[in-house]
């Protein structure tokens, strides 16, 4: 009889906390001998601090945050590892009705296409209205970096042409309606909330800016991971099984009900269903079906690609968050731990990618890849057609304009 | 600088707790204390107040906003968290346990800030103790109401005195190895199920 592992996981009430919630509620943690406790938090800063002091062994966390921690950009600077991702995609850029109307006048369309709608936004900004303000959830977030990437590739300087500020996701819709901000990039259900309850409109989605891109990951206190390798492996298996369950459409009604409970996201089921079905409310009663809006399991969605970590690092350099050095690049890349993922999932006999890194944007269509089983990746393109080769970090950084 | 010359900003959504901290700081000679509850226009407020130390509760959802403000601000020189002092793990843990976080402005000696954080920690702890006691008292009051109601029902239906009704409840509880309030609750539930009006 094995001793059961006690694990406390912090989470922020968002749709992509689903894997942790399902691991607990559907018995996947229990089946791996884990007594999993979930603790809801209201800010990413609290998640980070409680991981650092050992209140939590693991947490649902923004993909770039553990990298920022290990680079000493945040305090307390406790080392973290990322042995698993918690899904791909899931964010959107939502704008106020007034801004959307201006964008439409400049050619924006209801198809959420990042290129068309980015060009329309640029036209609005060139038209010299008052300086627009956009909200993101944290400086070291996928939201901040993908919004900046989209703006920049659309010819908008995110530091000079607009203003970006940080707001808690539940406050975004209200701030938008009050005119404090003109748009925001957030996770679900906060875009759906903006459209359904605050008269907002979706401009584009994460999947259109960078298809199959990483969002939340499992952040793990490094000290704990080193002294409890078995517990960590067991947890990764439980989360992988949970991701399979979440990826199965026939479970979505139950998943929506689970997540809507007061202990978890505590919001109406109608706000949660769109992100799972991929049929989003985009504004004025119109819906659109989006491919790969939120991917919990398919396309190796839980694999912690080193190339994802390195891409975030290039953006940290690009926007002046950190200086580019060999050491920094090394720290960023090694924060993600595909080795721990492989080790843990070996016994499940699931398909694993054969590499730890890939050229991001190279797969234009669904592609079967060499691995220990059947695994299909991509498409994973950036909307502007550019590639990120993790072996060419210097060149990539040099090629990127700030504005 | 005397302690009193430090500008302290307390950000707390809980007005009562914020004033408990303020009082403690004033007693210790920090008389430049400002309290902010809501975060509306926080960036501007911080620039106006120009604090040396910021104390914020860990549960505040606007901590991410506050940190990004530190990162962006040109008005306030880049402040650093109290937590940055890795040598003092105990005080980091104590702060997080109590649910408080403190930030100091770069250049200010950490030793000078430590008493403020210590004060905040002890006040946060005192406040949560108070809250717990209040909840317990409230729970007891609820329990007493339930027991009174069950007693009343027994007195009416069985024609017994209040003392007898209470004795009956207590005896049943002892026999079943349960709490009196649980017996009272099940009696009330049973009565509401049996009552055709179902309004109990």
Q: What is the 3-state secondary structure (H, E, C) of A58-120?
A: EEEEECCHHHHHHCCCCCCCCCEEEEEECCEECEEEEECHHHHHHHHHCCCCCCCCHHHHHHH
Q: Which residues pair with A8 in a beta bridge?
A: A37
> At A219, which helix (H) or strand (E)?
strand A216-221
Domains for chain B: give ranges and CATH numbers.
3-108 (3.40.50.2300), 136-194 (1.10.10.10)
CA distance A252 to A9: 23
Task: Show the domains of chain A with their CATH numbers.
Answer: 5-89+213-266+298-342 (3.40.190.10), 91-211 (3.40.190.10)
A 10 A CB-CB count for A371 gives: 16
- How many Cβ pairs within 8 Å bridge chains A and B? 66
Q: Do B68 and A138 touch (CB under 8 A)?
A: yes
A375 interfaces chain B, CB cutoff of 8 Å:
no
Give residue-wise pLDDT tens across range A61-71.
999 999 999 99
Q: Which residue has the higher pLDDT, B42 or A144?
A: A144
Chain A nearest-CA residue for B100: A46
Q: What is the pLDDT of residue A87?
A: 97
Share of chain A above pLDDT 70, in %: 97
Rounded to two decimals, what is the model's pTM?
A: 0.87
What are the tens digits of pLDDT across the range A297-308?
A: 999 999 999 999
Residues of B in contact with A134 (CB under 8 A): none
Task: Identify the pLDDT of residue A74.
Answer: 79
Among the residue ranges A225-239, A278-292, B35-49, the one predicted with the least confidence is B35-49
**Is residue A395's pLDDT more than 50?**
yes
Q: Which tens digits make up the pLDDT trace of A95-120?
A: 999 999 999 999 999 999 999 999 99
Note every long-range contact of A106-113, with CB atoms under 8 Å and residues 24 or more positions apart, other chains counting: A108/A203, A110/A282, A110/A283, A110/A286, A110/A288, A111/A288, A112/A202, A112/A203, A112/A204, A112/A205, A112/A208, A112/A282, A112/A288, A112/A290, A113/A204, A113/A208, A113/A383
Instruction: Please check the confidence at residue A34 and state whether its pLDDT lies above 90.
Output: yes
Of A43, A53, A54, the CB nearest to B64: A43
pLDDT of the residue at A29:
98
Q: Provide the pLDDT for residue B194.
A: 82
Please tell me the distance in Å from B186's CA to the nearest CA on chain A. 26
What is the rounded average pLDDT of the residues A288-304?
95
- Quick one: closest CA in B to A54, which residue? B93
Average pLDDT over residues A214-237: 97
B73 to chain A: nearest residue by CA? A165
**Residue B194 burial by CB count (10 A; 0-12/13-18/19+): exposed, middle or buried?**
exposed
Q: Enumerate chain B positions whose Cβ falls within 8 A of a Cβ in A.
A: 43, 58-69, 71, 80-81, 83-84, 86, 89, 92-93, 96-97, 101
Q: Are residues B64 and A138, on separate chains, in Cβ contact within 8 Å?
A: yes
Chain B residues whose beta carbon lies within 8 Å of the beta carbon of residue A75: 80-81, 83-84
pLDDT at B197: 58
pLDDT score, position B74? 45
| A168–B62 C-beta distance less than 8 A | yes
Q: What is the pLDDT along chain B (200 residues), one digit of tens a residue?
A: 555 578 888 998 888 888 888 998 898 888 889 988 776 667 778 778 888 888 888 889 988 988 887 776 544 445 555 554 555 677 778 888 888 888 776 656 666 777 888 888 888 888 888 888 888 888 888 999 999 999 999 999 999 999 999 999 999 999 998 999 999 999 998 888 887 654 44
pLDDT of residue B106: 60
Cβ contact, residue pair B83, A45, below 8 Å = no
- Please state, in angstroms and rounded to a whole number, the distance separating the CA atoms of residues B51 and B79: 10
- Which pLDDT score, from 0 to 100, does residue B80 have? 55
Query: Contacts of residue B97 in chain A, CB cutoff 8 Å?
Result: 53
Average pLDDT, chain A: 94
């Amino acid at each position: 009889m094995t001793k059961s592992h006690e694990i406390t996981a912090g989470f922020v009430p968002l749709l992509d906390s689903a894997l942790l919630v399902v691991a607990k509620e559907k018995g996947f943690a229990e089946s791996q001998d884990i007594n999993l406790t979930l603790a809801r938090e209201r800010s990413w800063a609290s998640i980070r601090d409680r991981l650092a002091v050992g209140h939590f062994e693991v947490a649902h966390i923004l993909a770039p945050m553990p990298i920022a921690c290990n680079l000493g950009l945040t305090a307390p600077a406790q080392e973290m590892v990322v042995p698993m991702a918690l899904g791909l995609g899931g964010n959107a850029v939502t704008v106020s009705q007034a801004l959307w109307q201006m964008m439409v006048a400049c050619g924006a369309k209801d198809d959420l296409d990042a290129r068309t709608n980015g060009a329309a936004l640029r036209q609005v900004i060139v038209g010299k209205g008052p300086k627009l303000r956009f909200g993101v959830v944290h400086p070291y977030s996928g939201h901040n970096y993908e919004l900046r990437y989209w703006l920049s590739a659309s010819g908008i300087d995110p530091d000079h042409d607009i203003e970006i500020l940080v707001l808690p996701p539940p406050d975004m819709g209200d701030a938008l309606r009050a005119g404090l901000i003109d748009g925001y990039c957030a996770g679900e259900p906060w875009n759906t909330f903006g459209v359904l309850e605050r008269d907002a409109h979706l401009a584009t989605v994460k999947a259109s800016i960078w298809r199959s891109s990483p969002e939340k990951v499992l952040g793990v206190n490094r000290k704990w991971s080193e002294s409890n390798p078995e517990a960590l492996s067991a947890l990764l298996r439980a989360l992988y099984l949970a991701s399979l369950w979440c990826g199965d459409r026939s479970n979505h009604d139950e998943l929506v009900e689970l997540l809507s409970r007061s202990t978890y996201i505590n919001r109406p089921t109608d706000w949660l269903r769109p992100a799972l079905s991929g049929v989003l409310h985009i504004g004025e009663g119109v819906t659109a079906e989006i491919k790969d809006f939120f991917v919990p399991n398919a396309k190796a969605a839980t694999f912690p690609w080193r190339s994802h970590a390195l891409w975030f690092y290039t953006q940290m350099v690009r926007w002046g968050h950190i200086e580019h050095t060999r050491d920094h690049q090394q720290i960023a890349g090694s924060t993600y731990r595909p080795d721990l993922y492989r080790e843990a999932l070996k016994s499940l006999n699931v398909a694993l990618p054969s590499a730890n890194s890939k050229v991001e944007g190279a797969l234009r269509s669904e592609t079967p890849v060499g691995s220990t089983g059947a695994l299909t990746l991509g498409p994973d393109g950036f909307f502007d057609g550019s590639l990120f080769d993790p072996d060419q970090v210097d060149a990539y950084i040099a090629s990127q304009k700030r504005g | 600088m005397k302690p009193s010359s430090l500008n302290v900003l307390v950000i707390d959504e809980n007005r009562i707790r914020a004033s408990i901290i303020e009082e403690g700081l004033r007693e210790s000679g920090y008389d430049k204390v400002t309290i902010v509850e809501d975060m509306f226009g926080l960036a501007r407020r911080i620039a106006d107040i120009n604090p040396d130390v910021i104390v914020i509760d860990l549960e505040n959802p606007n901590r991410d906003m506050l940190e990004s403000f530190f990162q962006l601000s040109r008005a306030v020189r880049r402040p650093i968290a109290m937590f940055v002092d890795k040598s003092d793990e105990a005080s980091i843990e104590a702060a997080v346990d109590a649910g408080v976080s403190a930030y100091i402005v770069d250049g200010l000696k950490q030793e000078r800030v430590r008493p403020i954080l210590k004060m905040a920690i002890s006040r946060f702890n005192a406040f949560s103790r108070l809250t717990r006691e209040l909840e317990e008292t409230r729970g007891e009051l609820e329990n007493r109401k339930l027991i009174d109601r069950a007693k009343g029902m027994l007195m009416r239906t069985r024609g017994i005195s209040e003392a007898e009704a209470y004795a009956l409840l207590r005896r049943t509880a002892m026999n079943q190895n349960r709490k009196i309030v649980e017996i009272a609750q099940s009696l009330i539930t049973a009565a509401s199920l049996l009552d055709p009006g179902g309004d109990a």
